[in-house]
Structure 1
C-alpha cells in the first residue's frame, strides 16, 4: 500500500466484508452486499478467507478493494489464529465502520479479531444448533447482528437464540441484478440448441446438485405421473451433477420415462440457458432460499416450488407450490402449467428481490440505520 493510499484510508470510511470463499453462489453474495453501499460515503473492502487471487473474482465482487488471504479449508479449522492475526492487520489499515461477515467462520474471526460491530449473514439452516456457537453468539451479542437470507433461516436462528431481541436477528433476502442476469440469458432457440433439447418439446427444467437435499427423485416421479397428460414429446431436463446421478437414471428407467428425462450435467453459466424451459420446478428439501427461482423468473419462466423453507417466500402464489415429497400434487401442478397461461413473475422479482428493493430494506435495519445517520 502506498503512502497516499494509507492517508486516504485514514480519512475515508470503509465497510469490511468478510467472506469464507467465492465458490458457487458466494461470489454473487459478496456482490449483493457490496452494492448496498453504492452511492453512499462508504467504500467496501471485501476479504476472502479461502481461495486464490483472481481478477474475475475482483471484478465480480463489485468492491473498492479485494483482498485474498489464501487459506485452504484445512487451515481454517480449529482456532484460526493465523486468520485472526491477518484480520487484525487489515482492520488496522482502514477506518472501518463495521464488518459484514458471511457464514459462521468469518463471523468468529471478525469478532475475535476486531472490536467492530459485525453483521453476520447466514445462508443455511442449523448454524446455531450447537451449544458452543450459541454461547459464542451470546457473548458477543452487543456488537453482533444476524441476518438470514429468508424468514425460514431467520426463524431457525431465533429459535436457537431465544433471548435475543427480534431486531437483532432479521431477514435480508438474497437478490439479483435483474438487468445483468437477463443480459446473460440467451434466447429460447439458442438455449435449446446449446443444451441439445428439441425446439418443439414442452420442457420442465430443474437446476441443482444431484443430492438428496434437492430431491430430484420426487421431480422424476411427479413428471412420470403427469407425462400421459402433458403435451406429446414433453421432456424433463435436469441440469447438474452429483452422487445420485446413477440412482436417478435408474429411477427414470424403472418408471419407464428414461427417454423423456435428460440429464444435462454441469453446464457452465447455467442460468444463461433458462429460457430453454417452459416451466422451472424446484423440489428441494427445505431450501434456505432458492436463487435459481430468481434466475428463472428473470428469464420469464413460470416456477413451481416446494411449500417449505425459503422457497415458499419466493414463490407467492400457493397454486405454484406443492408439499415436500408430494409427487402427486407436483404432477397436478405440471399438468396445470402445460394447459394454462401464466403471468410473468418479473414484477414480483423487481418488487422484492432486486438490488434496489433489498437495498431499501437494508438501510431500515437497526445497525445499518445508525450508519445512515452519519451520512
Structure 2
C-alpha cells in the first residue's frame, strides 16, 4: 500500500518554493502519494508543476497566520480525516504548529533558521508532542541549536537533513562566462569577486566591503559584484563611497535566477555572520568557482575543505582570503567541487540519509 504524505509549507517565496521541490523528490519512486499545501501565496501553476504531486494553495496572507491559526488547522484536519496521512513534513514553525494540532498526525518538523525554540511556549508545545514528532535542522549547526534549546527533547529525534540541489538542472541552466558578464554588465577583463544574498545584517556586507577595500589597490583590475536587494542598500553604498571603492563595487539589485550567471564571477565570497546553511554555496560549487567563506553556521559543512575560510567579522582575515583567491592559492578543481555536491547535497544522497534515519522508522512503525 502506498504511503500518503502531507507536506505543509508556509509559502513559496524563494527559497521555499524549491525547498518544497527538494522534499518532494524524497518520495519519488517509493510508493508514496504526496500532497503539498502552501499556507500563503496565490495559486501558481509553475510552483505546482515544479513540486509535483497534488498541490493545494490555501491562499492566506501572512497576517492570517498570526495567533492560533484555527482556520488553517481546520482545513488540514479535514485533509487528514479524508486521506489518513502516514506522516507530515512541515516547514518552519507555523507549519509545524498547524501540523501538531492534528490529533494522531506524525510530524517531521523542518527548521531552516536559528532560534526557532527560544520562545518558551514553542518549547512547551514540542515537548508535549514529542511522541509524534521528529525535528530536523537543515545543517548540523541548526540541529545543534535546536538541541541546545530543547535539552530534554530526545536527542535522537533531532537530526540533520541537508538542503540540496538539482545538480544537473542547475549546471545546465548556468550560462557561459562571456554571456553572463554581458548580461550583468561586468567588464570582460576584470577579476570579479561575486556574492549573492539579500542586503541584510546577517550577510555582513559591511565586513566584505572593508575587506575588499584593503586589497583593491593591490588588485587594480578587481571588482566586487553584489547581487541582492534589501534595506541596507543605501547604507552599504555610502560605506563604499567612504572607503573610496564605489567605482569597483557593483550593486546589481535583484536578479531573477541569479545562479544562472555565476560563471561571470572568478570566485565567490560569503561573508555572513549568521548562516543556517548557504544554498548559494552549492550553486557556486556547481559553477566550479573557488570559494571563500566566513567560518560560521552551515557554511563549513557545505564547502568542507574545498574552500578558504576566514574569521567572522574580521576584515583583515577576509582580505587575506581574497588575495588567496586572486592568486589562485585555493588548490581546488572543478571536479572536486561537483563531486562534493553530488555526494552530500544531491537529491539522491539526501534521500538515503532521510529514509535511513532510525528515528523516522520508529515514528512510522512504532510512534
How does the TM-score come out when normalised to structure 2? Answer: 0.95
Please point out which of 300, 305, 319 is paired with 1:312.
300
Instruction: Answer yes or no: is 1:15 the counterpart of 2:15.
Output: no
Alignment map for 1:73-152 (pairs within 5 Å): 73-152=62-141
Q: CA deviation at 1:330?
A: 0.9
Question: For residues 193 and 71 of structure 1, what CA distance do their matches in structure 2 show?
Answer: 40
CA distance in 2, matches of 1:251, 1:182: 35
The number of residue pairs the alignment matches comes to 362
Aligned counterpart for 1:170 among listed residues 148, 153, 159? 159
Q: Deviations over 1:254-312 (max 9, x none)?
A: 11111110111111111111110011101111200010000111111111111011112
- Show structure 1 runs of 5+ residues with no match: 1-10
Q: State the shift of 1:212 in Å.
A: 1.0
Equivalent residue runs for 1:104-253 within 5 Å: 104-230=93-219, 232-253=220-241
Q: What 5-or-longer segments of structure 2 have no aligned partner? A: none
1:295-374, aligned counterparts within 5 Å? 295-317=283-305, 320-340=308-328, 341-344=331-334, 345-369=337-361
- 1:71 aligned to 2:63? no
Partner of 1:54: 44
Q: What is the DSSP-based 3-state SS (H/G/I as helix, E as strand, rest coil) of the residue aligned with 1:167?
A: helix
For residues 55 and 147 of structure 1, the distance between their equivalents in structure 2, rounded to whole angstroms, comes to 29
Counterpart of 1:44 (choices 34, 51, 57) is 34
Which whole-Å CA distance do the structure 1 matches of 2:90 and 2:363 have between them? 17
Q: Distance in 1 between matches of 2:8 and 2:209?
A: 39
Shift of 1:200: 1.2
Q: Name the SS for the 1:263 alignment partner.
A: strand
In structure 2, the residue matched to 1:289 is 277
The CA deviation at 1:57 is: 0.8
Distance in structure 2 (CA, Å) of the matches to 1:324 and 1:354: 28
CA 1:313/1:12 → structure 2, altered by over 3 Å: closer, same or farther?
closer
Question: Counterpart of 2:229 in 1: which secondary structure?
Answer: coil
Match of 1:258 in 2: 246
Contact 2:282 2:341 (C-alpha < 8 Å) held by counterparts: yes
Q: Does 1:267 align with 2:255?
A: yes
C-alpha contact 2:132 2:363 (8 A) present in aligned 1 = no
Query: Retained in 1: the 8 A contact 2:133–2:363?
Result: no
TM-score (norm. length: structure 1): 0.93
Q: CA deviation at 1:185?
A: 0.8
Change in CA separation of 1:373 and 1:92 when aligned onto 2, cut-off 3 Å: closer
Question: Is this contact kept in 1: 2:292–2:325, CA < 8 A?
Answer: no
Shift of 1:318: 7.9
Q: Post-superposition shift, 1:100? A: 0.4
Provide the secondary structure at the position in 1 that maps to 2:251: strand
Tell me, yes or no, if the aligned pair for 1:97 and 1:116 is still in contact at 8 Å.
yes
Native 8 Å contact 2:134 2:360 kept in 1: no
C-alpha distance in 1 between matches for 2:108 and 2:3: 17
Conserved? CA contact 1:319–1:333, under 8 Å: no
After superposing on structure 2, the runs of 4+ consecutive aligned residues of structure 1 that deviate more than 6 Å are 371-374
Q: CA RMSD in A?
A: 1.6
Query: Deviation of residue 30 (structure 1)?
Result: 0.5
Contact 1:363 1:372 in 2 (8 A): no
